[in-house]
Amino acid sequence: MDLIPHPRHAAYVTDDGFTLRPGTVLDVGPGAERAGRWVRSVLGAATGLEFPAGEPGPDGAVRLAVDATVPGGPEAYRITVDPQWGVRVTGAGPAGVFWGAQTLRQLLGPEAFRRAPTAPDRRWRVPAGHLQDAPRFGWRGFMLDVARHFMPKDGVLRYVDLMAVHKLNVLHLHLTDDQGWRVEVGRYPRLTEVGAWRTRTKVGLGAPDVWDERPHGGYYTRDDLREIVAYAAERHITVVPEIDIPGHSQAAIAAYPELGNTDVVDTAALPVLTGWGVNPNVLAPTEHTLRFYENVLTEVLEIFPGTFVHIGGDECPTEQWRSSPAAMERVAELGLRDAGELQSRLIRHFDRWLAERGRRLIGWDEILEGGLAPGAAVASWRGYAGGIAAARAGHDVVMCPQSHVYLDWRQSEHPDEPAPIAHARTLEDVYRFEPVPDELTPREAARVIGTQANAWTEVMDSVRVVDYMVFPRLAAFAEVAWSALPPPAERDWPGFERRMSAHYARLDALGVEYRPPAGPRPWQRRPGVTGRPKAGPPPIV
């Protein structure tokens, strides 16, 4: 049936099945309520069927139920389709029922991915059979950088839906960076009044300095974020907010200049950054900075109920600290060896601060330098090494090496790639990505709680470009994260490509402007957007 991600076990009788009718009852058992609401609203809209509540009768029904004996953990599910009795989706827990409902949508055909029926007399038939499925990883993440280019709320909600289609369950929102601050903070209104806007934007990452010469910006109100969190939770997706410190913070410094290293830089003159790259203007290592970010995070915790809070920690140049008498005084006061240790001090402060509030810190792999509290987790982006070291040190790891799953990297060497940065990373490369490196022992490997694909948006200035860069590669990534695939060299790439032809029809019905297998469509070209390799190693294949 060309399912993506591929289920563990499936057996169909494709010439027989159960046909949904206008009167087909939807029987929602205890614990399956969210899946029930989703079926009624989303599949109801696509099919035009009402899915009335009621007891299953002799005409068959769609039943959604929780049964903890379904093997494979709380997200596991089973689907049975009988021509007479109908469809039964049974999850080991509520999330399992929801993922089973996503599979049911694929079984109904690509038209089930539209928002309204296109033919009134279409028969909605589910092939008879039996299917059993469970995810490989508990953290199946997707990161959206809404700081470099703001994505309006509606686009984020759409991406939540696209994640659900692919059984991804962690949305990491990169909410702050040098180029923009996107989360409203009641106590510090200038973070969005000033920090959410820049005067212009550098076009592309390539050498010529070309600017678009128009303002860019936007931010989410607290209610927008509460809506996103609730909309995601309804789909069994957790939102992880990222507030990046102490680097990637120029938008905050532009709003509140006292956050910067005022004794070496005229921070009052710093704008929200309009170009790209690793930036020397980092937070000052002061008590004031700590209190400021504690106050910010206090509001962030009120909005985001999930366990993990991402505090960034990546790419923090220490030059300003080294030349700042105030920072070096702080180094002496704290008895540190050098300015580099200020970074780990800061991270460990928030590690403790979050732990005291029942949360867990996650950060980019630079946070390993200097030692971490045991509860902290590491997102390994500079290849696998950080993740390996973290797993060996007993930390949970989310594997997201830039060499494999940075979805801003170009998709081919084609001269018309619309966002031609870094190295080519094809759909097949992503399909052959293995999150757990061979050198880990089974005990260490168990520390890899999951994997994540990251969409950085320096050269993605609209949802259309994000769609192009993210798809179809996110479909391959979803299969890596969900399905128990064999080692990379043994993966059935031709089989995946074949299933993708069915999946493209689903993406078309959803209105996703993916990269076609043959290369960019003529209107997807963006002449003038230039690229060069981002920092990092050449391709690993």
Chain residues binding ligand ACM by CB under 6 A are: 314-315, 364, 381
CB of 355 to ligand ACM, least distance (A): 23
CB of 381 to ligand ACM, least distance (A): 4
Q: Residue 369 and residue 313: Cα distance in Å, rounded?
A: 10
Q: Which structure tokens are listed for 216?
A: 């860019």
Please tell me which residue in 177, 178, 366, 444 is annotated as part of the active site: 177
Least distance in angstroms from the C-beta of 252 to ligand ACM = 17
Q: Which two tokens stand for residue 498?
A: 């074949």
Q: Please choose, from the candidates 148, 51, 65, 144, the residue with its C-alpha nearest in 3D space to the C-alpha of residue 100.
A: 65
DSSP-derived pairing of the beta strands 308-312 and 216-217: unpaired
The residues, any chain, with a CB within 8 Å of residue 477's CB and separated by 6 or more, are 405, 430, 433, 451, 453
The interaxial angle of helices 493-510 and 473-482, nearest 10 deg, is 120
Nearer to ligand ACM, 139 or 381 (CB): 381
Per the residue annotation, which of 133, 315, 351, 467 is the catalytic one?
315
CB nearer ligand ACM, residue 61 or residue 282: 282
Tell me whether residue 91 or residue 383 sits nearer to ligand ACM (CB atom): 383
Residue whose CB is nearest to ligand ACM in the complex, by number = 314
Indicate the burial class of 257 (C-beta count within 10 angstroms; 0-12, 13-18, 19 or more): middle
Instruction: Give CA–CA dist 47/162, Å, rounded.
Output: 19
Is the CB of residue 291 less than 8 Å from the CB of residue 350? no
- Closest approach of ligand ACM to the CB of residue 535, in Å: 8
Give the residue with the Cβ less far from ligand ACM, 159 or 381.
381
- The answer to whether 212 is a known catalytic residue is no
Q: Are 410 and 427 in contact (CB under 8 A)?
A: no
Closer to ligand ACM by Cβ: residue 320 or 452: 452
Which position has the token pair 């980019």? Answer: 364
In the numeric block, the tokens 């005229």 are attached to: 266
Whether 128 contacts 13, CB under 8 Å: yes
Active-site residue flag, 503: no
Name the minimum Å distance from CB 314 to ligand ACM: 4
CB of 181 vs ligand ACM, minimal distance in Å: 17
Contact between 364 and 314 under an 8 Å Cβ cutoff? The reply is: yes
Active site residue 178: no
- Order of strands, edge to edge, in the sheet holding 77-82? 9-20, 124-133, 77-82, 86-91, 61-66, 25-28
d(CA 1, CA 500) in angstroms, rounded, equals 11
Residue 17 DSSP symbol: E
Residue closer to ligand ACM (CB basis): 18 or 381: 381
Closest CB to ligand ACM among 75 and 366? 366
CA distances from 288 to 253, 293, 444 (A): 13, 9, 39
Q: Which is nearer to ligand ACM, 150 or 381 (CB)?
A: 381
- Nearest distance, CB of residue 120 and ligand ACM, angstroms: 49
Contacts of 86 (CB under 8 A, 6+ apart): 18, 24, 56, 60, 61, 62, 63
Catalytic option among 174, 248, 310, 503: 248
Positions marked active-site: 177, 248, 315
